[in-house]
Structures are given as C-alpha cells and as structure tokens.
Amino acid sequence: MSQLTDWMTRLRSARITSYQREGSDPDETDRPLPWFMMMLIGAMFMWGGFYIYDTPSGDASAWGDQRSLESLMPVLLPAGGSAKLDGAPIYSAKCVACHQGNGAGVPGVFPPLADSEWVIGSPTKLIQLLLHGVVGEIKVKGVTYKGAMPAFKSLSDPEVAAVLTHIRSQWGNQAPPIDASDVTAQREASAARTTPFSGGAELESLP
Ligand code: HEC
C-alpha cells in the first residue's frame, strides 16, 4: 500500500515538472487587419467603382476589327452580281425537299429541274415562277404535273439570282447565270401580283 502511494506521488511530481517544463499551448490572439490593408482595399473598391462609372458603354468599341455591317455588305452581297453568293446552300435549304438533291424531282409529284425547259429557258419566266409560285397544270419534259410550287418572294434579289444560277448550272444544265438586277426588275414589274401563276399556261403568256 505504501508502495502504491509512493508511486503515485512520484507520478504526480513528474507530471508537474513536465507541465512546468513545456509552457502553454499556442493560441490565436486577436489580430485585426492592419490599417494600411483596410485603406488599400477601400482604395481599390473606390477605384473599381470609378472605373466602371468612367468607362464609356454603348459607344463604338475601340477593339475588334472595326468593320461595320455596311462595310461588309459589298463582300456578302456583291453589287449587281450573284457570282459570289453561293446558290447551293439556298437550294439545299429551300428546294431540295421537293426537287431532290439530284434535281430529278419525284415522278408524278415534283417535276425535275435537271434538263427542264423552264429552268434552262427564259430567265424572265423562271424568275417570275420562283417569285410567285405556280398552282395548277404545268408541263415539264413532256409530263404534266398538277401541284403547287410555293412562292419565294421572301428571298432577296441576290438570293433568287444565286439559287436560279445554281439550278441552271447543275445536273448537266448549262444556261447562263441570272443577275440580281434582273430579279430586281422582275420583282418591280410584278409588284402588284399577290397570287401564284395558274399553271404553265399563264407563265407561257408572259412576254
Ligand atoms: C413544296 C415543294 C416545293 C418546293 C419546296 C419547291 N418546289 Fe419548285 N415546284 C414544285 C411543284 C409541285 C412544281 C410544279 C407546280 C405545278 O404543278 O403547278 C414546281 C415547279 C418548279 C419549277 C418549274 C418546273 C420545273 O420542274 O422546271 C421550277 C423551275 C422550280 N419548281 C424551282 C424551284 C426552286 C428553285 C425551289 C427552291 C427555291 C423550289 N422549286 C422549291 C414544288 C416545290
């Protein structure tokens, strides 16, 4: 028993001495941001606010390549010519569903454009046909079709010229290109028309 007490006393005194020897645990003291940091952050906020306030917005940008839509138009739609505007994508977007990629149409339903007298013939009639559409009987390569070809008035003059030039030079067709100015003239000449042509007969009667 006395041996145990003795041992505990020794243990206790050993602990006391280790406490004394090691000093206290580290702890976080109260350290506010230094005043100059606060001032710096405040100054940065003020500078940021002023910078946003001071930056012009809505004006022409000083960056970029400075090209406006007007300066690009002659490149996008070359004046008086459809040569640069490609008719192929217009054909793919607007015509291919009916007249097919190979221009052969669908027998009995959609007439062919390949080797069609309407396509390689008179530009005037072809332009009129595309602008206003046709409803009723039309004879193509000896076959009579009786359907409805939609009007494409909504295309611009250079687009009409481009798609017509395209179909006149595809699938073995070899007719001269159509100029945007011809489309403009035909559009003006038929400005009063609101209905499609009734069949090929009415188109034939055009000058
Ligand atoms: C919704 C189907 C449809 C679309 C789309 C369509 N066509 Fe037609 N197209 C017809 C039909 C049908 C006829 C025959 C009209 C008739 O029977 O009166 C026709 C007739 C024609 C003709 C005269 C006949 C011939 O075969 O040569 C031409 C030229 C023509 N289309 C060109 C075009 C072009 C170019 C486009 C695209 C810009 C186009 N079509 C888009 C259905 C269509």
pLDDT digit string (tens) for 113-150?
A: 999 999 998 899 999 999 999 998 999 998 899 989 99
| Average per-residue pLDDT for the chain | 85
Instruction: Tell me which of 157 and 71 has the higher pLDDT.
Output: 157
Average pLDDT rounded to a whole number, residues 60-80: 70
Report the C-alpha gap between 131 and 44 in whole angstroms.
Answer: 63
**Angle, alpha carbons 143-144-149 (nearest 5°):** 115
CA dihedral 160, 161, 164, 169 (to 10 degrees): -150
Alpha-carbon span 67 to 75, nearest angstrom: 11
Judge residue 103's burial from the number of C-beta atoms within 10 Å of its C-beta, 0-12 exposed, 13-18 middle, 19 or more buried.
Answer: buried
Percent of the chain with pLDDT over 90: 40
In the structure encoding, which two tokens stand for residue 93, read together? 């977007």
Atom of ligand 1 nearest to the CA of 200: 18
Q: Is the CB of 118 under 6 A from ligand 1?
A: yes
List Cβ<8 Å contacts ≥24 apart for 50-58.
none
pLDDT of 105 strictly over 60: yes
Closest to 81 measured CA to CA, from 155, 154, 175, 182: 182
> What's the pLDDT at 23?
74
- pLDDT at res. 40: 97
Which tokens in the block code for residue 58?
Answer: 């809505």
Predicted pLDDT at 80:
54
Report CA(77)–ligand 1 centroid distance (Å).
25
Beta carbon of 127 within 6 Å of any ligand 1 atom: no
Report yes or no: 168 and 120 within 8 Å, Cβ to Cβ.
yes
Query: Mean pLDDT, to the nearest integer, of 25-32?
Result: 80
- The yes-or-no verdict on residue 81 having pLDDT over 50 is no
Question: pLDDT tier at 35 (50, 70, 90 boundaries)?
Answer: very high
Of 26 and 104, the structure prediction assigns the larger pLDDT to 104
Residue 102, CA atoms < 13 Å, CB-side half-sphere: 3
7 pLDDT exceeds 70? yes
User: Which pLDDT score, from 0 to 100, does residue 5 have?
Assistant: 85
Residue 158 clears pLDDT 90, i.e. is over it: no
Residue 169: both structure tokens together: 């030079």
Q: Is 111 in the pocket of ligand 1 (CB under 6 A)?
A: yes
Measured distance CA(152)–CA(132) in Å, rounded: 6
**Ligand 1 geometric centre to CA of 105 (Å):** 9
